Amino acid sequence: MTRRSLRRALLSALTAVAVTLALAPLIPSATAAPTDYQAEDATISQGVVESNHAGFTGRGFVNYNNVVGSYVEWTVTAPAGPADVTLRYANGTTAARPLDFTVNGVAGAVGITFPGTGAWSTWASKTVRLTLAAGTNKIRARAATADGGPNADVLTVNPTSDDTQPPSAPGNLAVSNIKSNAATFTWTAAADNVGVVRYEINRGGNVLKVVDGSTLTATVDTLTANTAYDISVGAFDAAGNASQQSNVVAFTTPPSGDTQPPTAPGNLRSTGTSSNSVSLAWNASADNSGSIAGYDVYQGATKVSTTNSLTATITNLMPSTQYTFTVKARDPDGNASAASNAVTVRTAGTGTGGIPAYDRDIAKVDLGWSVAFLPDNSGSALVTERDRFEVLLVTATGQKTTLGKVPGTVTTTGEGGLLGLALSPTFSTDRWVYFYQTAANDNRIVRMKYENGALGTTAEPVLTGLAKNRFHNGGRLRFGPDGKLYAGVGDGQNSGNSQNRNSLNGKILRINPDGTPPSDNPFFSTGGNARYVWGLGFRNPQGLAWDSRGQLWASEFGDNSQDELNLVQKGGNYGWPACEGTIGDCGGYIAPKRTWSTAQAGPSGVEIVNDWIYIAGVTGSQLWVTQINSTGTGVGTPQAVFSGRWGRLRSITKTPDGALWLTSTNNDKNGGTPTVLDNVIVRLKFP
């Protein structure tokens, strides 16, 4: 996509982050000039200086021996504080070659992966932020695998500001000159103690355009006709600190005047059946506008599903019954295509499991973000209301009681508020309920007592200091089979947080119930916030669930290309911001087990029942269903269920009696409509 390509190019040129894995250099510091240190002049252990590959600087480069522990150690001079340290390297193999960087022999190495560059004469650069002492420092880059390190050319040390103060939010955002495919935005400058280096124009947390810090107006020309938008702007300084978002402007682009319908979808076919469902797939339509707004699935003359993907699963059918389906495409101006070929399918005679059916409505709520069932066999659950900051008790029959609010919760006029909740593994004795909330200055995890049918009035902090922003707050809480509390934390709209182990953002965290870090966490010995990190390199993870093997699966919102379903490993790095799904600089990172386009999924809550995975899709407005394979290492082809039926789906939770509760959160982009109960909790059943 043009928008995606533009974003990646601009970010490569402009983004300064705490730990950078992109191949572009960081923005130069204003505090000191960068200094180059040649590898051939450094201390070398189990390596040799060579000059047999072209393109090096200086007198040559260092070829690491292919053993764990070979290293190059540079002696550098710098002021005290952080420095961006860039290694120019070549790797002519297809295998990534990771290095561990240490300073002055201090424990807590920073690991950086150096993927193949295509040839030994092709050079690239990677940057890591290290903290240096005043005066002389020894920076060692040690091979972490038996493949040794890449060929090392020159190390550039660029002392940076220790600025941690973010800019103020840009003001007075306004939109003008709205066309079917473009609009112009203007805003007033953000203030910063050092200086603003760039502005990002966002739609729902996805970046549409990036401009430099001296530009206060921009035209975005990648919009779609006849489409609703809500736009905000954020500011960044040279240290990578992100402001809060500006005010939001909401508008709808006008129709383009196009009257030509799309081509008909092709090759409609059945991809699977059960006793109560039929799964369908088809080939994409084409339109003169260049985009398709969606597809409508018809059962006879009745529309039964609306989706923007190329698959749908129709449920609530009768066993051993024949059904006929067609599909039509719509363009952004509402022109409908001719019908696809018809396909006639007979459902199975006996239930095969996996695909749920609609059972009944449970309750109307505002924005039911998370659900946790009480362990008292009543079938009742606690539900968080994101924008009302309330905790509800909802019975199996749909009776609702407002138990109270979580004190200190605020909105971000976006995705923040009262988000995840989880019950203590020993709830029957300790009565603790854990909440993920947006507070005045941060996101945080707190806990409150729920005793004798009443929620306490005070909240005890469990973990604080999770950076907040209008979007990318994460928010899911789940206790794992090990009795530890896991939290999915977004990057706070600052992608540099995701690779910085000392930041709590862009991570999946693992926490003892009392808020202390478990000593068996992968980076516990590093100290600081790294002690809480279980996995890193995430953008906005919102779904957590465990399979029958005790493996953790997590869903993640992508940027402009791919959403992800990940199998999360202890200490695993999933690549953001260098890698989105399978796109970008993905060498050395753990690949997702499944990806979707960001228009199809927007995966939030995840649940697993008998190794079937259920994923609530926000953006795609559908429930995705897939089965874990027999080895536990991957999943089958996901099937889309209830496409367009309830809109934006947020959470999916198994009930004590073997069903599922599904919640919707429509009208949630700009802080919702907390005075209106216009979303649902529905119950799904298995055949």
Catalytic residue set = 472
Amino acid at 307: T
Contacts of 5 by beta carbon, 8 Å cutoff, 6+ apart: none
Contacts of 455 by beta carbon, 8 Å cutoff, 6+ apart: 391, 403, 404, 433, 448, 449
Please, are residues 561 and 581 in contact by the beta-carbon 8 Å criterion? yes
**644 alpha carbon, distance to own chain's centre:** 22
- SS3 state at 112: strand
Q: Which helix (H) or strand (E) holds 2?
A: helix 2-14
Distances (CA, A) of 272 to 267, 278, 324, 590, 637: 15, 6, 14, 30, 11
The phi-psi region of residue 413 (left if phi > 0; otherwise alpha if psi is between -120 and 50; otherwise beta) is left
Nearest to 438, CA basis, from 467, 405, 477, 402:
467
Q: Which helix (H) or strand (E) holds 153?
A: strand 151-159
Strand partners, 322: 346
Q: Which helix (H) or strand (E) holds 13?
A: helix 2-14
Cα–Cα dist 140/26, whole Å: 21
Residue burial 140-153, b: 16+ Cβ < 10 Å; e: rest: bbbbbeebbbbbbb
Contacts of 616 by beta carbon, 8 Å cutoff, 6+ apart: 543, 603, 604, 605, 606, 623, 649, 650, 651, 652, 662, 663
- SS3 state at 263: coil
Distances (CA, A) of 223 to 180, 249, 255, 291, 414: 7, 15, 11, 11, 21
Q: Which helix (H) or strand (E) holds 12?
A: helix 2-14
Tally Cβ neighbours within 10 Å of residue 377.
9
Structure tokens at 418: 């009262």
Phi, psi of 394 (to 5 degrees): -120, 125
Cα–Cα dist 300/314, whole Å: 13
Tally Cβ neighbours within 10 Å of residue 355.
26
Please, are residues 114 and 98 in contact by the beta-carbon 8 Å criterion? yes
Please, are residues 514 and 499 in contact by the beta-carbon 8 Å criterion? no
